[in-house]
């Protein structure tokens, strides 16, 4: 009988904890670190290409994990221009077109399955300091994003 009572108490505790966690919102402006899961380049990427990321570390609000580590994150390429040498018929007039690569980090999901809108990458530490003729990012690079308000008016 004692085992049944303990099992019942444990079940109720798990249910209450799960219900409390699903009610927790992810506040607007909350930072989310994401890891790139693929190689992207100004030479091979096209605007509109989907970019795959994953959450790099758990996002915690009030001691509850609201976005789990390794949760898939989606983004896209917005601008990709390859390097071009624009030499004209005058050899002294050479003006190269430098490579350009711009992408966005747009959404992930909370532990209870709700869509979390993201804005990123946050400009600053995520700048590429590579050859200006070619822009790229390698698999495993970490970027910062922030949570933005959802389309239904709630911060989630």
Nearest-angstrom CA–CA distance, 111 and 121: 22
CATH of the domain at 112: 2.40.128.260
**Strand, helix or coil for residue 76:** strand
For 18-32, the pLDDT digits (tens) are: 444 445 688 999 999
Quickly state the pLDDT bin for 98 (edges 50, 70, 90). confident
Least confident of 33-37, 40-44, 92-96, 112-116: 92-96
Distance CA 130, CA 44 (A): 16
Q: Is the pLDDT assigned to residue 54 strictly greater than 60?
A: yes
Q: Please give the structure tokens belonging to residue 136.
A: 């790229």
Six token digits for residue 152: 């239904």
**Range(s) of the domain holding residue 54:** 26-147
Question: What pLDDT is attached to residue 9?
Answer: 43
* Residue at 79 is within a domain: yes
Q: Are the CB atoms for 57 and 71 separated by under 8 Å? A: no
Q: How many domains does the chain have?
A: 1
Q: What is the mean pLDDT of residues 33-42?
A: 94
Q: Which of 88, 81, 83, 71 lies closest to 26 in space, CA to CA?
A: 71
Q: For residue 5, what are its two tokens?
A: 């009572």
Residue 14 lies in a domain: no
**What whole-number distance in Å separates Cα of residue 65 and Cα of residue 116?**
14
């Amino acid at each position: 009988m004692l085992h049944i009572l303990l099992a019942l108490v444990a079940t109720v505790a798990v249910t209450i904890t799960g219900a409390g966690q699903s009610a927790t919102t992810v506040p607007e402006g909350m930072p989310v670190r994401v890891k790139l899961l693929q190689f992207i380049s100004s030479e091979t990427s096209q605007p509109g290409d989907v970019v795959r990321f994953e959450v790099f570390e758990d996002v915690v609000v009030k001691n509850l994990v609201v976005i789990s580590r390794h949760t898939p994150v989606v983004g896209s390429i917005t601008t990709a221009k390859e390097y071009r040498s624009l030499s004209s018929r005058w050899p002294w007039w050479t003006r190269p077109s430098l490579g350009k690569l711009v992408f966005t980090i747009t959404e992930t999901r909370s532990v209870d399955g709700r869509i979390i809108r993201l804005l990123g990458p946050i400009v600053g530490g995520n700048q590429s300091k590579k050859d200006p003729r070619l822009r790229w990012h390698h698999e495993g690079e970490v970027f910062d994003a922030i949570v933005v308000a959802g389309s239904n008016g709630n911060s989630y």
